[in-house]
Structure 1
Amino acid sequence: MHKYLIHGSYTEEGLKGLLNEGGSKKRREATEKGIKAIGGTLKAYYYASGDNYFYLIVDLPDNVNATAVTLATNSSGAVKNKTTVLITPEEIDRIVDQATKAVGAYRPPGQ
Structure 2
Amino acid sequence: MSTYLFEANYVGEGIRGLMREGGTGRREALVAALKSVGGSVESFYYAFGETDVLGVIEVPEPSDAAKKTPAYRAPGQ
TM-score tier after normalising by the smaller chain length = 0.7 to 0.9
The structure with more radius of gyration = 1
Larger RCO: 1 or 2 (CA < 8 Å, sep 6+) = 2
Partner of 2:54: 55
Cα distance in 1 for residues equivalent to 2:15 and 2:50: 14
Native 8 Å contact 1:42 1:59 kept in 2: yes
Structure-2 change in CA distance of 1:56 and 1:28 (3 Å): same
Q: CA deviation at 1:49?
A: 1.3
Q: CA deviation at 1:13?
A: 4.3
Partner of 2:2: 2
* TM-score, length basis structure 2: 0.77
User: What per-residue deviation string (whole Å, max 9, x for no partner) do you get for residues 39-80 of structure 1?
Assistant: 11210011101221011201112xxx2122223323xxx431
Larger helix percent: 1
Q: CA RMSD in A?
A: 1.9
Aligned residue type for 2:43? A
Structure-2 change in CA distance of 1:54 and 1:3 (3 Å): same
* Unpaired segments ≥5 residues, structure 1: 83-111
Count of matched residue positions in the alignment of Structure 1 and Structure 2: 75
User: What per-residue deviation string (whole Å, max 9, x for no partner) do you get for residues 77-101 of structure 1?
Assistant: x43137xxxxxxxxxxxxxxxxxxx
Partner of 1:102: none
After TM superposition, which residue ranges in structure 1, 4 or more long, deviate above 3 angstroms?
A: none
Aligned residue type for 1:48? A
Larger strand percent: 2
* TM-score, length basis structure 1: 0.57
Q: Give me the identity figure in percent.
A: 33
